[in-house]
Structure 1
Amino acid sequence: MASISRSKLKVSADIPVHHLPQTDFYASYTDGIKLGEFGISHRIDFFAIIWFLEDAGLHYIDFEPYPIKKDMVYLIARNQVHSLPGDAPNARSIIFSKRFFDSIEDDDLRFLFAPFTNAGISLTNEQIEPLAYLFELMQLESKLQQGNRLLHLYTNAFLAHIQRLSHTSETTAAYQDERVRKLFELIGSHYKTQKFVSFYADQIGLTAKRLNQIVKEKLDLSVSQLIYNYTLIEAKREISHSVKSLKEIAIELGFREQSYFSRFFKKQTGYSPERFRQENP
């Protein structure tokens, strides 16, 4: 089986980054994926679908543990931090570049990779066989390297099956609302610099009060809590694997003072940034 050659680990502020070299798409079983060390926390510079084929303990997405179970699928977004301690379990992996991801036309399918919905999706017995066929077709087509047309068709079909299994998710249901979809897109792009609800409300064409009402009805959260979620995820990534000072991290995440950042982090996690860094080296 052809495999991706190991790319040199590039480091951004001491965080190992796994890159997808010289291709937009790759599908392989575990033994064909050689992008770097999976046992340590690493940021991925691509999107990944991991279909575990055996029970094998835990893996970590953005420092939260998730079970490795047979026929459980995880979708991991670009820039998320992942680690898979111990020997890599048998799995089917589908990985693709941001360019390939951006060309997926269905917003609902792209939203499956939202970085705050990381729980695994268990496949039903009825879906295992057709999804396995789709995976084999992806493998074949990615080896042929004759364009992405069929790869998009296969990927859309695969994700549509996954979406069917996750349709009961409150977040997925909320995303059917165009205003909520726009809000997530805006927060994902601006959370470091825009902390006020009024900015997002203006961009969507609503009052801050009405936007908060909609998000509360759909997700039982406030807009500020969504902004905090994005900020907290990136804070954990940077604190754990960055050589930057806490002051530098605070400024990059939009806090005027390190003290404000420290209070925010402790309120959200129960840990000071210093303690979190010590316990997540």
Structure 2
Amino acid sequence: MASDSGLALGDHAPSHRISFFAIVWFSETGGTHHIDFESFPVRANEVFLLAPNQVHSIPAPTLPPARTIVFAHDIFDRIDEPHLRQLFLPFENIAFSIPDAMQAPLTHLFDLILLECNGLADIALLLKYTTAFLTHLYRFGKHNPQVSGAEDHRLVKLFHLMQMHYRQEKSAAFYAREIGLTAKRVNELLREKMGTTVSKLLYRLMLIEAKRELYHRQHSVKEIAYGLGFSDQSYFARFFKKQTGLTPEEFRGGAR
């Protein structure tokens, strides 16, 4: 579950999808890394959280030293606090900076996770340690005003539904109905929490997946367009260029 050596997920240049949740804590400053084709500087004592299906890469020639914690859905699904699960949402990739005063305590906490992984690997204890680590990250982050606990649970369900159905369902009314709210209230919550709307999140999900598919070259542009729910290839091409400034073919050609 954990590593204290060089970065354990992600190799050099080839971007790849990860199949697990990951906490990446960089130990030194220098270079860049990429999450879903967005570039971020590598800085000491900054932490990034990754979710399954995100694309992560670090350019050659060297991997920056980092502590990593990786875990599967069976751990993630046991995290009771919705606001901690929301930290892994792939809509925005935030760097959490660990203050100087907390670097030693969190290093000790990480060491406890590593020790337990290499020993009895008690899931209940690992969950407590991991939840404690995420709670500290949540405190370090810059967050919008909190919504109520019930609304937090609904937002977690909303994000899960969107990730499952964004290819087929593009209507805010569909997602609102599934979580027992009106479309107006869902968009109000999203504006309060993340400064966005259902439509904007759906566009972001489609754009991220389009980039992943184009990069990996397993399907034609036409197949990608239809797979994402576009009625024709030209509509998809206009959407992609509006969001990126590039045609799908230009992005695919420059992604190698």
Is the 8 Å Cα contact of residues 174 and 180 (structure 1) preserved in structure 2? no
Cα deviation 1:70-123 (Å, max 9, x = unaligned)? 111111111100001121111111111122212222211111111122121110
Is the 8 Å Cα contact of residues 44 and 79 (structure 1) preserved in structure 2? yes
108, 115, 121: which is aligned to 2:96? 121
Separation in 2, partners of 1:219, 1:229: 13
Q: Which residue matches 1:78? A: 52
149, 154, 169: which is aligned to 1:194? 169
Q: Which residue matches 1:259? A: 234
Tell me the amino acid that sits aligned with residue 120 of structure 1.
A
Is the 8 Å Cα contact of residues 108 and 175 (structure 1) preserved in structure 2? no
108, 122, 134: which is aligned to 2:109? 134
Cα deviation 1:116-174 (Å, max 9, x = unaligned)? 221211100121111100111111110114431211111011000001111x323x846
234, 240, 262: which is aligned to 2:215? 240
TM-score, normalised to structure 1, is: 0.83
Within-5 A mapping of 1:56-71: 56-71=30-45
Separation in 1, partners of 2:39, 2:120: 36
Structure 2 unaligned spans of 5+ = none
Is the 8 Å Cα contact of residues 175 and 181 (structure 1) preserved in structure 2? no
Please say which of residues 57-66 and 264-273 is displaced more in the overlay. Answer: 264-273
Q: 1:252 and 1:278, CA in 2 relative to 1: closer, same or farther beyond 3 A?
A: same
Cα offset for 1:184? 1.9
Cα deviation 1:209-257 (Å, max 9, x = unaligned)? 4433443454432321111111111111111113210111111111121
TM-score, normalised to structure 2, is: 0.91
Within-5 A mapping of 1:208-219: 208-219=183-194
For the residue of structure 2 that corresponds to 1:66, the secondary structure is: strand
Q: Which residue matches 2:204? A: 229
Identity over the aligned pairs, expressed in percent?
Answer: 47
Q: Is 1:40 the equivalent of 2:40?
A: no
CA-atom RMSD in angstroms: 2.0
